[in-house]
Structure 1
Amino acid sequence: MGSLLMPRPISLSPFMCLILLCLTSFPAILMAEDDDTQLTPYEVLQQYDFPVGVVPKSVIGYELDRSTGKFTGYLNGSCSFSLIGSYQLRYQSTITGYISKDKLTQLKGVTVKVLLFWLKIVEVVRSNDELQFSVGIASASYAIENFLESPQCGCGFECDDELSKEIEGNRFVSAS
């Protein structure tokens, strides 16, 4: 009669243990990252106590390192519109900075036209029901109620329905 093959005991090398540990931990890491990526940029702003109107409707994605607050926001092209009286705002297609509760700091990619000059907005701070926008040497405060909805590129809050549909339907519109 033939001999029966007996299974040998499995010995796990340290390398195999490391691989198994990584494979069992990987789904937990993915789930933690998925929680953030499922949030819209506007929901993330609200988590940090900011109204959604701080950024226009054309945000198509973002990256956020919650441990440092460093973020990058991606817009569907550059974006410009009038807001609050005679101010003109301009967003580059990529904006960066740091976010924490009630503070956006070290902003890059957002400018405001004051009189004849374009100035970089470097910080936005929420204080109670106001947002304070700083251009470094000067700042101005506005009621949060002015930012409860996001403006649209090209027309801000003064959009008519036809222009709104055209802008939303064209992913490559760049209003300057």
Structure 2
Amino acid sequence: MVVTLLTTVLSSPATTSANSTTPIAHEMLEKYDFPRAILPKGVKGYTLGPNGSFVVYLSGDCSIHVNNVQIIYNSSISGKIQNRRIHDLKGVGVNLFFLWIFVDQVDRIDNQIQFHSNWHSKSVSKSFLVSQFTNSPVCERAFTMSMQYV
């Protein structure tokens, strides 16, 4: 019986995104009208709740560069997603003017992606063209960034 069970498990094909009904994280972004490449390559998995709450898992802290701006991702990114808006975001930062700004909201407005932060009671944002997120970049290892929210 154990041999039969092992033979059945080992001979069964692995489930991949091609034959799975669950879309990968990048495909899920497109369902909310975001470009798939706002997430880097290397996503290990994600969870998505019925209210739009999500957690995305990367292999580690890493960063990408978009239009000469560094965006850093923690190994775990969480928030809530709805059409053209991600809010209550944790685990993403943008380097602006030699300062790290922790992003708490991302909006798609027409052909732009806007990263927002409320930093010391001031609203700060950085806009990118959607076309700058056509291909998911390889996420480079980044220094460990302690995303402390106070």
| 3-state DSSP of counterpart to 2:94 | strand
Q: Which has the higher strand share?
A: 2
In the superposition, the TM-score normalised over structure 1's length comes to 0.65
Q: Is the 8 A contact 2:66 2:132 kept in 1?
A: no
Q: Could you tell me which residue of structure 1 aligns to residue 82 of structure 2?
A: 100
Unaligned runs of 5+ in 2: 1-19, 144-150
Answer whether contact 2:72 2:142 (CA < 8 A) is retained: no
Largest Rg, 1 or 2? 1
Per the normalisation by structure 2, the TM-score is 0.75
Q: Distance in 1 between matches of 2:107 and 2:47?
A: 21
Q: Give the structure with the higher percent helix.
A: 1
Q: Is 1:63 aligned to 2:47, yes or no? A: yes
Provide structure 1 residue ranges, at least 5 long, that are not aligned to the other structure. Answer: 1-33, 155-173
Report the AA paired with residue 153 of structure 1. C
Question: Deviation digits for residues 16-40 of structure 1, max 9, x if unmatched?
Answer: xxxxxxxxxxxxxxxxxx74xx210
**What amino acid sits opposite 2:76 in the alignment?**
T
Could you say what the CA RMSD is over the residues aligned between the two structures, in angstroms? 1.3
Q: Distance in 2 between matches of 1:108 and 1:150?
A: 20
**Aligned partner letter, 1:47:** K
How do 1:83-94 residues align onto structure 2 when only pairs under 5 Å count? 83-85=66-68, 87-94=69-76
> How far has the Cα of 1:144 moved from its partner?
0.5
How many residues align? The count is 120
1:39 aligns to 2:23 (yes or no): yes
User: Do residues 140 (structure 1) and 126 (structure 2) align?
Assistant: yes
Moved over 3 A (4+): none
Deviation at 1:146, TM superposition (A): 0.4
